[in-house]
């Protein structure tokens, strides 16, 4: 079927919104851009990203020269955790996205950011999706969590609580931090694929760093246009997986009964706080 991407391009996609990666369509310049982004970020993440991420990055050979071939990458990943990577032109509808995750397929954007937007773009491109998301899919516990999220998404959509569940994805899969014996580390894909946020999230005094709390987090708004004002910290991927291995039905009942929404900078008495942020960055106008 034909769809229109958010950038207005018309493309032919399969029923599940996938396309052939058609690796040959990338230019030498685009492969070179991947290599430069990879080298820059790999250096940045030494001592900042968690070991599980770095192990996945290296075992999947994401720097074999240019943008990875999805067929080869999928073959490697499938051996480890049963996940595969499929190409999509753009953001896909929520139900389609959840169906892919529930079946251990990760949809990755089939384009790379333009040179002028090397540091920041809002659309998920192949660097964000593959460099950012795929390494942790080689970790068995995180791999199970992502599948559980896809299945949960299908149920949440039916109950009209997708906004709440989307916050869980955002604050963990995209922007999560993890406490390790070596110190606080990054695991969120939105951070590991961003040079500036890799430093900001760990070293800046502005943002809150608060211990992961499922209900608290599902009531908290997030920012899509700038660095986060709050990062949520887990102790282990097991903690994350266990939080999702429960019936969310009663949680959704409570969210319907109590519709409080916290702003992204809120700190409560009951929060387990690692860093009570100054919010100096956001108060100064952030990116603007």
Q: Work out how close the CB of 193 gets to Fe ion at its nearest, in angstroms, rounded to a whole number.
A: 8
The nearer residue to ligand HBI, 5 or 141, going by C-beta atoms, is 5
| 101 touching ligand HBI, by CB under 6 A | no
Instruction: Pick one of ligand HBI, Fe ion, none as the site partner of residue 118 (Cβ within 5 to 8 A by kind).
Output: none
Which of 97, 111, 142, 248 is close enough to bind ligand HBI by CB under 6 A? 97
| 210 touching ligand HBI, by CB under 6 A | no
**3-state DSSP assignment of residue 262:** strand
Task: Please give the residues from 108 up to 127 whose contact with ligand HBI meets the rule CB under 6 A.
Answer: 124
Which of 131, 169, 231, 232 is close enough to bind ligand HBI by CB under 6 A? 169
| 3 touching ligand HBI, by CB under 6 A | no
Stretch that binds ligand HBI, among 7-15, 90-98, 113-121, 279-287 (CB under 6 A): 90-98
Q: Report residue 204 CA to chain centroid gap.
A: 21
In the bound state, the residue with its beta carbon closest to Fe ion is 189
Stretch 175-194: interaction string toward Fe ion, x if CB under 5 A: --------------x-----
Stretch that binds ligand HBI, among 40-48, 91-99, 112-120, 271-279 (CB under 6 A): 91-99
Stretch that binds ligand HBI, among 85-93, 192-200, 220-228, 250-258 (CB under 6 A): 85-93
The nearer residue to Fe ion, 174 or 275, going by C-beta atoms, is 174
| 107 touching ligand HBI, by CB under 6 A | yes
Q: What is the DSSP string of 123-136?
A: S--HIIIIIIITGG
| 88 touching ligand HBI, by CB under 6 A | yes
Q: What is the DSSP string of the chain?
A: -EEE-TTS-EEE--TTS-B---GGGS-HHHHHHHHHHHHHHHHHHTTTB-HHHHHHHHHTTTTSSSSPPHHHHHHHHHHHHS-EEEEESS---HHHHHHHHHTTEEEEESS---GGGSS--SS--HIIIIIIITGGGGSHHHHHHHHHHHHHHHHHHHHT-HHHHHHHHIIIIIT-EEEETTEEEE--HHHHT-HHHHHHHHH-SSSEEEE--HHHHHTB---SSSS-SEEEEES-HHHHHHHHSS--HHHHHHHHH----B-TT---TTS-EEE----HHHHTTTT-
Q: Where along the sequence are the contacts to ligand HBI (CB under 6 A)?
A: 88, 91-92, 94, 97, 107, 124, 166, 169
Q: Where along the sequence are the contacts to Fe ion (CB under 5 A)?
A: 189
């Amino acid at each position: 079927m034909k769809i229109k991407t958010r950038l207005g391009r018309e493309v032919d996609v399969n029923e599940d919104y996938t396309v052939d990666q058609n690796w040959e369509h990338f230019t030498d310049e685009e492969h070179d851009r991947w290599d430069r982004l990879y080298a820059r970020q790999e250096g940045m993440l030494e001592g900042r990203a968690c070991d599980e991420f770095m192990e996945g990055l290296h075992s999947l050979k994401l720097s074999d020269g240019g943008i990875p071939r999805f067929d080869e990458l999928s073959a490697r990943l499938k051996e480890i955790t049963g996940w595969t990577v499929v190409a999509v032109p753009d953001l896909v509808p929520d139900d389609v996205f959840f169906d892919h995750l529930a079946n251990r397929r990760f949809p990755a954007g089939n384009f790379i950011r333009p040179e002028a937007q090397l540091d920041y773009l809002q659309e998920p491109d192949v660097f964000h999706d593959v460099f950012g998301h795929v390494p942790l899919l080689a970790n068995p516990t995180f791999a199970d969590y992502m599948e559980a999220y896809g299945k949960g998404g299908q149920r949440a959509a039916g109950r009209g609580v997708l906004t709440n569940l989307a916050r869980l994805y955002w604050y963990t899969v995209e922007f999560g931090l993890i406490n390790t014996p070596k110190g606080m580390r990054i695991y969120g894909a939105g951070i590991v694929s961003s040079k500036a946020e890799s430093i900001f999230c760990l070293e800046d005094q502005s943002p809150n760093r608060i211990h992961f709390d499922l209900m608290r987090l599902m009531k908290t708004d997030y920012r899509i246009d700038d660095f986060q004002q709050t990062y949520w910290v887990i102790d282990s991927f097991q903690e994350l997986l266990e939080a999702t291995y429960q019936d969310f039905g009663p949680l959704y009942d409570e969210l319907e009964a109590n519709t409080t929404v916290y702003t992204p900078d809120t700190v409560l008495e009951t929060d387990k706080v690692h860093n009570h942020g100054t919010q100096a960055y956001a108060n100064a106008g952030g990116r603007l």
